[in-house]
Structure 1
Amino acid sequence: MAGSREIAHLRLAVAAALVLAGLCYSSWVLEFVLPVHSAPVDSFLSELDAEGKPYRWVFATGDKIAAALLIAVAPTALWLFPRRPLTTLGWLALLCFGAATLADALVPLRDCADCADRGLFPQLRQPHALTSTLAVASIAVAVLAFTRAAFRYRPHWRILRTLGLVLLIIGALATGWMLAADRLPGDYALGIAQRIQVGAISLWLIALGFALPRADESAMLSA
């Protein structure tokens, strides 16, 4: 069994990996500096790394790195940190999110030239839809589980009780925006809604990374 110093270093490594995963998952912001010729207001992020798109490798690589980090971090965190029902659920959900995100990058959107004519979720006609849906569902479970844990395992989860909760609300509102607009005619700036949703996820991963060093054993074991 590793000593206390090694455990502390590993915990910091897990926290750093979460921060890096959040940064890599936000690689879509490069659309504003690369000549991808996208329309952020009404285009989906899946179109950035669709088959045949310029700079597809940039956005796909960002997602792959984020996914690989989360796949490695989740089981490591389950070993390093005390196991409680909420945090265990959160880590398992993050593992599923990482796996679904990796599949998302490996199974890109196809034939997106006519996406505008297929409604809110053109991906639903393609295998890419399943991986995207699993990713969103998994991260939703993770965020809810860790947010609940942040209020239960006081006082060292302060970041998730404040910034994490704000990001949860923002992400939920953006998701509601997208779901409601799916039943209405028109575009309703759905590209903006999705970017807000994904941006909130990225920032939440970073917030979780900063929260971990303060989530000591006594706090996490207290009911």
Structure 2
Amino acid sequence: MSRPRPHSDPDPASGSAGRAGDGHRAARTGAAVALLAAAVCYASWLLAPVLNPGLRPVRSYLSELAARDQPYHLFFQLGDVVTGLCAVVAGVLLGRVAREVPRVARWGLVVFGVATAVDGGWTTMDCAPSVDARCARLEELGELSWRHQAHTVTSSVAVAGALLSLVALLAVLRGPARRRTGLVVAVVLAVGTVGTLVASVHPGYGLGLWQRTQLAGLSGWLLLAAAVALRGTGSRPERSR
């Protein structure tokens, strides 16, 4: 009669590793979902022809959609706030589990998120200068509220954070498909940003169209970051940093 085999207890280390792996996957999925939500909310300006057809696509800043004297401004403000909060959450989650993503890329995402949330929640414009001559005159004289004047600062910080994050992300992307996608997004964002800067000095150069190109690039960057959060950069993740 053979002796019964001794019962072997499960390895606690393997169980802990499995739970940690599940936690990492959940965090990466959460970051990807947050980035997808941010990209969608940041594209709320696509509804402008329906909600606020009075603003001119060629000449108007997209930020004027959220100006406090414009119809449905709360909708566009909420879009920016949700975008910013989702970006911050994604940046924090990626900092915990996606060590292959450069720290600069993660912090750029957080900077973009904070600045965008502040932009939508506190530093919205008072009025829309592209369609309101009185507003344009008051803006020129510096007689509008501090929030209106601070809007340029928060918007610029948001774009700077996004550009920094995208450049850092491009440096670690591996594989032809990922690199091509990253380069297309970078070109669209760079062209839109440069065009916006030039047209802000020469308003007749199609400011609205350039800024819409810029925001399309920003949404593309958020989608690219979502793909990286979910599937990685294409290189072997580092264990620690």
Q: TM-score, structure 2 length as denominator?
A: 0.79
> 1:158: Cα distance to partner?
4.1
Q: Secondary structure at the match of 1:108?
A: coil
Tell me what 1:20 maps to: 37
CA distance in 1, matches of 2:91, 2:152: 24
Could you give the per-residue CA deviations for residues 120-148 of structure 1, whole angstroms, max 9, x where no partner exists?
xx999711111111111111111111111
Q: Structure 2 vs 1, CA of residues 125 and 102 (structure 1 numbering), >3 Å: closer, same or farther?
A: closer
Tell me what 2:229 maps to: 212
Q: Aligned pairs, how many?
A: 212
Tell me which of the two structures has the higher relative contact order, counting C-alpha pairs closer than 8 angstroms and 6 or more residues apart. Answer: 1
Q: Structure 2 vs 1, CA of residues 49 and 124 (structure 1 numbering), >3 Å: closer, same or farther?
A: closer
- The answer to whether the Cα contact below 8 Å between 2:51 and 2:71 also exists between their aligned partners in 1 is no
Could you give the per-residue CA deviations for residues 154-190 of structure 1, whole angstroms, max 9, x where no partner exists?
34x843x111210111111122122233444x51111
Q: Does 1:96 align with 2:111?
A: yes
CA distance in 1, matches of 2:217, 2:74: 23
CA distance in 1, matches of 2:200, 2:78: 30
CA distance in 2, matches of 1:44, 1:35: 13
CA distance in 2, matches of 1:124, 1:183: 22
- The answer to whether the Cα contact below 8 Å between 2:119 and 2:154 also exists between their aligned partners in 1 is yes
Tell me what 1:138 maps to: 161
CA distance in 2, matches of 1:216, 1:110: 42
CA distance in 2, matches of 1:129, 1:57: 19
**Rg larger in structure:** 2
Tell me what 1:53 maps to: 70
Output the aligned Cα RMSD.
2.6
CA distance in 2, matches of 1:141, 1:217: 20
Q: Secondary structure at the match of 1:48?
A: helix
Q: Structure 2 vs 1, CA of residues 179 and 20 (structure 1 numbering), >3 Å: closer, same or farther?
A: same
Q: Does 1:166 align with 2:181?
A: no
Q: Structure 2 vs 1, CA of residues 34 and 176 (structure 1 numbering), >3 Å: closer, same or farther?
A: same
1:134-213 correspondence to structure 2 within 5 Å = 134-150=157-173, 154-155=174-175, 158-159=177-178, 161-184=179-202, 186-213=203-230
Could you give the per-residue CA deviations for residues 96-143 of structure 1, whole angstroms, max 9, x where no partner exists?
000000111121112333466669xx9997111111111111111111
Q: Structure 2 vs 1, CA of residues 48 and 148 (structure 1 numbering), >3 Å: closer, same or farther?
A: same
How many percent identity over aligned positions?
29
Q: TM-score, structure 1 length as denominator?
A: 0.85
CA distance in 1, matches of 2:90, 2:233: 17
Counterpart of 2:185 in structure 1: which amino acid? Answer: L
What residue ranges of structure 2 are gaps of 5+ in the alignment? 1-15
